Structure 1
Amino acid sequence: MNNIESLTDLFELVGCKASFYDIGRHVSKITPAQVIQFDKKQQPYPYAFKQQAWLAILLHPLKAEQDAEPVIWFIRLPIDEKGSINLGTRDHLIKSIVDRILNKDGSTDISDALKDNPYAFQPDHERMASFHAALSVQFKKDASSFFDQLVTYLESDLNEEDTSWQALGLQGIADLAVRANQAKYLPLIKKAIEFAPHPVAVALAKALEHERPEDDYLSFIETIYPTRGNTEWRAALIRSVSKAAPSERLLQSIKLSLVTGENQATDDELQLIVAIVAKCPSWFNTDPELLSLTMENLANRNDGYVAFSQIASELSHTPVVRGSLWSLFRGENRSPKLTQAIGSLFTKAPEQVQ
């Protein structure tokens, strides 16, 4: 048997063409060059999220019919302290697959290869809908039947008392979001964000996090964000532009919504912070004041540094903001409370923020 030293080697051995996507922080296509680099540990994994690589892998058997549906694997692999795939874990994954599909009876049935595999996972409904929407556009397939239903609904007079939105499907919302940069759909999206019932608008804003927004939509969010007092609303609006570089105007609005009289992150403010940490941590690198305000507020929460520890851990494993975080922690202008919170990082393991 040929030596199998990477995921690429594995897929070549079983006769498949593989396409890689990351579906952690956002749904993002991974280029063949990036696959080679992280698969052979030449470069860090480009889209680490919660210290893991969240991979969706499309496998096209080379001997299959041309119109055959690909097999999709969903795999999570841990990231090491340098941001690279843990090769020991990856090799264990490869061995488990080889044992299952190659060393039994010579067959190479890949559709059942991840059954009971500890590295396999099932994406949540939102991720699945956005991933399928992205694939439909990439492979030039029609949108789901829910898409036309949603467009018809949004073209009507939106009314809070009209409950017909409850029949709309999540897949239709994802199908609209993935077409956000098509000129004919942007007005509908803005209309939905501003006037649709809360559940529809929030679901659409969250689905938009996977797309890089046009300047027109960015300006729209800059205007509407300060007018929304609901925290879930504001967190969703942040997510909807998380693939963009934030404007100074939007950053200022976010910072104002994080400021309290006691300089302590309330649960509402924590929800906004988590949205930034999860979806656009690079914004902290763009605006050191936002990072400082965030960590100071977290240090002042009355939760035993649970939120501070978990968020500090996540940011310290995110290359784009790690340097800024540790510069803040080593700085001379730390408050006594922040200094105490930093000390707690070395005395206990961080707990998960729910």
Structure 2
Amino acid sequence: MTTIATLTEFIESGGLSLHFSDMGRRVSSIPREHFVAFELTEIPYPLPLQQQAWFALTLADPKQPQIDPMIWFIRFPLDEQGKLLLSARDEFMHHLVESLGSEPDTDGMRGALQNNPYAFQPKQERLATFHARLTHTLRQPASRYYDHAKAYFDGDLGWDQWSFIGYQGIADVAARLDQHGNTQRVRKSIPSLPPSPLEVLCHCLENEVISHSIADALAQRGLSSLHQETPDAQVLSAVVRGLSQSQQESIRNNFISQLLDHPISQRSDLLAAIAGRAWESLEDDSLRHRYLERLADNEAGQAFFNGILSDLLYLPATRSAMQVSLRNPERTPKLSQVIGAFFSHVRGE
């Protein structure tokens, strides 16, 4: 008798196919082999948020392709190394088996997570992005808001009419940059968008790999604001997020570099945007050191510094580099002071 060791194996044993998506820091695909390795505690969860793994499982029945797939939204707590707490996964499986029996089937799966303590409901904005990406992947039509959103980004409705554009329509445009002229449409609109629709657009774009042309337009919009007498923090934060997955890392990093040169980068919302959405920029040694210096001088104080640093030390992509920077002998006295206070806090002193 074969022992089923993972949630993946259990679901696939019922003949269903699985697709894995992160739902925490970004809405992005997770390769099956990475998720299975995470389940086996061979690797930490790649994109932890609040020391938890937030992810979606898309379950489809290959024998019934005409039926829409089922979606499960699950969160698992992680240990100090960012790896799965097996006790949580096992408890989840216990609830699942109680609901389904030992052999999962399509009909039973649809209500299987009712009252499961590890299920969660994403925010509406995250759901919009997830469904936009899912329908694009499945080659299904976009939502009924899509055409209206395209007309808005063409400038046909007037830039001040953004409140009538559904978030789902903007998410559909962002998920379909490879279709219907959307890359050019979005690029042309960026200089004219009011701050609020620009922010929504960038929150959607942070989940997509964007082209050079869109990245350049975003960077120029951000620099234009940065060079004003009173820069618009809403625009700057949006641009950081929108640029986070630029194909041209140099555009993203150059913008963040100039942002860190400006006193406004002491704002907690801008520092959080860099750490939470554009953390790859901190792989650059110079940007990372300068970011930490700004973080030490942040407007919100020591508690904010502690939270951001804890997050970056927990994130696998930044952990090693941050540890190197914390030992940097050339750090300023202020940074040394707040780092010392951080470790005192960790030790409970």
TM-score grouping bracket, smaller chain normalisation: 0.7 to 0.9
Q: Report how far residue 72 of structure 1 moved.
A: 0.8
Matched, 1:270 2:275: no
Contact 1:193-1:202 at 8 Å conserved across structures: no
Q: Report how far residue 114 of structure 1 moved.
A: 1.6
Aligned to 1:146: 145
- How many angstroms apart in 1 are the aligned matches of 2:286 and 2:50? 24
The SS at the match of 1:55 is strand
Aligned to 1:172: 169
Q: Report how far residue 301 of structure 1 moved.
A: 3.8
Aligned with residue 258 of structure 2, among 228, 252, 256? 256
Which amino acid is 1:213 matched to?
Answer: I
Listed one character per residue, the Cα deviations across residues 294-320 of structure 1 (whole Å, up to 9, x for unaligned) are 222222346451111001101001122
Aligned to 2:27: 27
- How many angstroms apart in 2 are the aligned matches of 1:23 and 1:48? 10
Listed one character per residue, the Cα deviations across residues 31-78 of structure 1 (whole Å, up to 9, x for unaligned) are 222232222223333333333221100122466x43122221100112
Q: TM-score, normalised by structure 1?
A: 0.86
Aligned to 1:41: 41
Which amino acid is 2:35 matched to?
Answer: V
Q: Report how far residue 131 of structure 1 moved.
A: 0.6
Aligned with residue 244 of structure 2, among 233, 242, 245? 242
Task: Summarize the alignment of residues 74-223 of structure 1 with structure 2, pairs less than 5 Å apart.
Answer: 74-102=73-101, 109-157=108-156, 159-160=158-159, 162-163=160-161, 165-182=162-179, 184-223=181-220
- How many angstroms apart in 1 are the aligned matches of 2:155 and 2:336? 55
Contact 2:209-2:247 at 8 Å conserved across structures: no
Distance 1:80 1:244, change over 3 A: farther
Q: Report how far residue 4 of structure 1 moved.
A: 3.2
* Length, aligned pairs only: 341
Task: Summarize the alignment of residues 273-352 of structure 1 with structure 2, pairs less than 5 Å apart.
Answer: 273-286=271-284, 288-301=285-298, 303-348=300-345
Which amino acid is 2:59 matched to?
Answer: L
Matched, 1:230 2:244: no
Distance 1:36 1:335, change over 3 A: same
Which amino acid is 1:338 matched to?
Answer: L
Moved more, 23-32 or 240-249: 240-249
Contact 1:192-1:200 at 8 Å conserved across structures: no
The SS at the match of 2:76 is strand
The SS at the match of 2:36 is helix
Distance 1:66 1:304, change over 3 A: closer
Distance 1:107 1:38, change over 3 A: closer
Listed one character per residue, the Cα deviations across residues 95-121 of structure 1 (whole Å, up to 9, x for unaligned) are 221123227xx9972222222222111
Unaligned 5+ runs, structure 1: none
Q: Report how far residue 193 of structure 1 moved.
A: 2.0
- How many angstroms apart in 2 are the aligned matches of 1:15 and 1:197? 49
Q: Report how far residue 141 of structure 1 moved.
A: 0.5
- How many angstroms apart in 2 are the aligned matches of 1:265 and 1:66? 50
Distance 1:257 1:35, change over 3 A: closer
Q: Report how far residue 216 of structure 1 moved.
A: 1.8
- How many angstroms apart in 2 are the aligned matches of 1:325 and 1:52? 20
Listed one character per residue, the Cα deviations across residues 149-180 of structure 1 (whole Å, up to 9, x for unaligned) are 111233344645x43x3221111000000112
Q: Report how far residue 285 of structure 1 moved.
A: 1.0
Q: TM-score, normalised by structure 2?
A: 0.88
Contact 1:101-1:107 at 8 Å conserved across structures: no
Q: Report how far residue 123 of structure 1 moved.
A: 0.8
Distance 1:249 1:166, change over 3 A: closer
Which amino acid is 1:18 matched to?
Answer: L
Distance 1:85 1:255, change over 3 A: same
Contact 2:210-2:247 at 8 Å conserved across structures: no
Which amino acid is 2:168 matched to?
Answer: Q
Contact 2:23-2:56 at 8 Å conserved across structures: yes
Moved more, 204-213 or 245-254: 245-254
- How many angstroms apart in 2 are the aligned matches of 1:136 and 1:129? 11
Contact 2:212-2:247 at 8 Å conserved across structures: no
- How many angstroms apart in 1 are the aligned matches of 2:213 and 2:247? 14
